[in-house]
Amino acid sequence: MSASSFSDARKKLDENIFKVLNQRIIAAHDTLAEPDNQSQRWLNHRLFAVDGSKLNLPRELIDHHYRTPSKDAYYPQGLLSCLYQLKSKIPYDFDLVNHGNERQCALAHLKTLTTGDVVVYDRGYFSYAMLYYHMQMGVHPVFRLQKNTFKAIDDFRNSTQTDQIITLLPTKETQRDIRKQYPDIQFKALTIRLIKYTLEGKTYCIGTTLLDERYTIDALKEVYHARWGIEELYKISKNMIVVDDFHGRSERTVKQELFAHFVLITMSRLCTNESENLLNSLLNLQPDEMDPKQTIQANFKNSLATMSRHLEDIMFVPARCIKKVMDDIVSSISRNHQKLRPGRSYIRKSKKPVNKWRGCESTA
């Protein structure tokens, strides 16, 4: 096939096919997994996190209303948002948008969740509308709360209490502002649990709809800090895969590349999880008996390379041969592993994209 024919065919490919493919891969895996596998759950809940990250995009996307971060910048930016399953480390839903409204993206991700799921959010996501729509869907949010959102929350933050259940209802004036963006919202008092704890000299204030006493402060603290996994996802995307090195120059082709890279991560992670389960099963320990220092993990960079090498085999071999291909992938991944090294910490690096070509300055 000539390059021009390939390019023409690519223009006709709906980028959302990769979202559908990702969901079908996950669904196919889930049908084969043990239904009561608690290693992939937290207190019997599926556990997710949502976060967004800015990406530099090709200059041509300005025509699709992607804006530059400043008047001197050359490249426009888009908001990449992802719903990430924390236990399995799988990107569950994702999108690229030409606005910066992370809450709007988060609400769009809710359609892929089911009643009882738990979603963790960092600062900036909490609002009355976010709380309302999560409760409507039966999904439990865990928000890190900012200052100056509701007086009742600020009062709790300034008090000596560490665990309190309150109700929230915006003022009439605020309700009018909220309804402009969410015309179908029905205002009522919403119940939320507030917890507070201090870690390394920093105070964290968390809000959630998980009201039962079995969700202890320590358990919720652990869940909030588990959201670091989605930060690792973006590190993989930007540093290992260099996802913002786009070949396409249109909105469709850029989204094709972005969404396809998430499918690659999902396939690689499922095989990596299988490899790690096999390696750790050789220790003959139950998950609750496992010392973190004994845990074996695969090298995920190698997993990505291995999956990339086998993609054509997966797509084109006869169905009767696919099991052998997958077994070969897991076997190859298993050969490159190491023991988990808990307790390591590094200075956090900014995810902010580099401001490429801020402007053309004369050197004369």
For the residues 5-17, what does the mean pLDDT come to? 92
Predicted pLDDT at 31: 84
Chain-wide mean pLDDT for the chain? Answer: 91
Identify the weakest region by mean pLDDT among 8-12, 49-53, 186-190: 8-12
334-350: pLDDT as tens digits: 998 877 666 555 555 55
Quick one: CA torsion of 266, 272, 273, 276, rounded to 10 degrees? -170
Domains and CATH numbers, the chain: 41-243 (3.90.350.10), 247-342 (no CATH)
For the residues 203-209, what does the mean pLDDT come to? 98
Instruction: List phi, psi (to 5°) of 273.
Output: -60, -40
Q: Which region, left, alpha or beta, applies to residue 127 given φ > 0 means left and ψ of -120 to 50 means alpha?
A: beta
Strand partners, 312: none
Predicted pLDDT at 37: 64
For the residues 346-362, what does the mean pLDDT come to? 53
Q: CA–CA separation, 287 vs 280, rounded Å? A: 9
> Which stretch of DSSP H or E encloses residue 12?
none
Confidence of residue 283 (pLDDT cuts 50, 70, 90): confident
228-259: pLDDT as tens digits: 999 999 999 999 999 999 999 999 999 999 99
> Does 211 score more than 50 pLDDT?
yes
| Percent of the chain clearing pLDDT 90 (strictly above) | 79
The DSSP string of 187-247 is ---EEEEEEEEEETTEEEEEEES--STTS-HHHHHHHHHHTHHHHHHHHIIIIIS-TT--S
For the residues 310-330, what does the mean pLDDT come to? 94
Q: CA–CA separation, 252 vs 249, rounded Å? A: 8
Q: Whole-prediction pTM value? A: 0.90
3-state secondary structure of 202: strand
Predicted pLDDT at 218: 98
* Residues 348 and 122: beta-carbon distance below 8 Å: no
Q: CA–CA separation, 179 vs 177, rounded Å? A: 6
Whether the CA torsion 115, 225, 261, 295 is positive or negative: it is: negative
> Does 27 score more than 60 pLDDT?
yes
Instruction: List phi, psi (to 5°) of 216.
Output: -70, 165
> Does 14 score more than 60 pLDDT?
yes
Q: CA–CA separation, 42 vs 50, rounded Å? A: 17
70-125: pLDDT as tens digits: 999 999 999 999 999 999 999 999 999 999 999 999 999 999 999 999 999 999 99
> Which stretch of DSSP H or E encloses residue 39?
none
